[in-house]
Amino acid sequence: MRALLVVNPAATTTSARTRDVLIHALASEMKLEAVTTEYRGHARDLGRQAAQSEDIDLIVALGGDGTVNEVVNGLLHAGPDPDRLPGLAVVPGGSTNVFARALGLPNDAVEATGALLDALREGRERTVGLGLTSGTPGTDDESVPSRWFTFNAGLGFDAGVVGRVEQQREQGRKSTHALYVRQVVRQFFGEHSRRHGTVTVERPGEDPVTDLVVAIVSNTSPWTYLGNRPMYTSPKASFDKGLDVLGLSRLSTAAVARYGTQLLTSSPERGPYGKHATSLHDLDQFTLHSKAPLPLQMDGDHLGLRTSVTFTGVRRALRVIV
């Protein structure tokens, strides 16, 4: 087997020495080429090169969810073809690693490498569905390029939090769970439309869901982790189904306290609920519209402001080693 290893040197939970050990372990089982990313978007370019190559069987992403997202967007630049394209393996190296953990991999990079090597020896793999976003025809955002996401996306409040975290990281602060909690508080007090939302969910053949403050789109469950605690916004979401949506129509102080508690105590059986919560399950296509530009995030990456985004759940999009 010939594999391309994409290494993010800025991965927050692996050291240079650890990465060297992992590279040697992987190279002992396959013909391995390791490339260290040098700029934003480099992992996407490497994924695209792997997709166009005739002799790469596997691409391994060593990094966090952002690195995985770039690799996936490169691999699928011409569309999904799991029988032809290289498979994907993930070695978690970020602060949260939602995609890797949702696949059942250990959160420790060394343990995950061992699990992946076992999976390769035993031929264990699965084909998972992904989410795809695109600009909505007839709107100001119709020319926005399509983009894949692996586990979640959000329009509104949660994307604003992601943007604030990215600003802090650009100033040299480490990505920690405490940093996220602080930015949640700051986003709450800076949210102008937290009582009267501007987001509408439109689905073919269904009545629209209106006046949402935030819409969180899940491709799997859990939605994210707070340390080792999984949080479930859409417990039924699955890599084998379409997309799920949790919409909240109010973020008053009382509502934030209620939904925050529900998230912290959520489980595979129950997520946030109540008068101002809307849950939609297994959607193949829908559009989020906003009366005013709102921040958009995908897989924890802030993508700027949007007024309209069309989502498609693409089943059997990517072959992964598990």
* pTM, full prediction: 0.91
Give dist(CA 44, CA 178) in Å, integer.
Answer: 29
Tokens linked to 144? 């926005």
Tokens linked to 108? 């420790």
What local confidence, expressed as pLDDT, does residue 169 receive? 65
Give dist(CA 31, CA 117) in Å, integer.
Answer: 13
- What is the CB-side half-sphere exposure of residue 109 using CA atoms within 13 A? 28
- Is residue 304 within 8 A of residue 317, CB to CB? The reply is no
Give dist(CA 119, CA 65) in Å, integer.
Answer: 21
What local confidence, expressed as pLDDT, does residue 59 receive? 98
What local confidence, expressed as pLDDT, does residue 189 receive? 65
What local confidence, expressed as pLDDT, does residue 13 receive? 85
What local confidence, expressed as pLDDT, does residue 315 receive? 97
Preceding amide of 106 cis, omega within 30? no
Report the DSSP beta bridge partners of residue 278.
247
Mean pLDDT of residues grouped by 10 in the chain (322 residues)? 94 88 94 96 98 96 96 98 97 93 95 96 97 96 97 88 71 68 68 73 96 95 90 97 95 85 94 95 97 93 94 98 96
Give dist(CA 180, CA 127) in Å, integer.
Answer: 32
Report the DSSP beta bridge partners of residue 295.
305
What local confidence, expressed as pLDDT, does residue 204 receive? 94
Q: Measure the CA angle with vertex 303, ends 179 and 11; round to 5°.
A: 50
- Is residue 275 within 8 A of residue 248, CB to CB? The reply is no
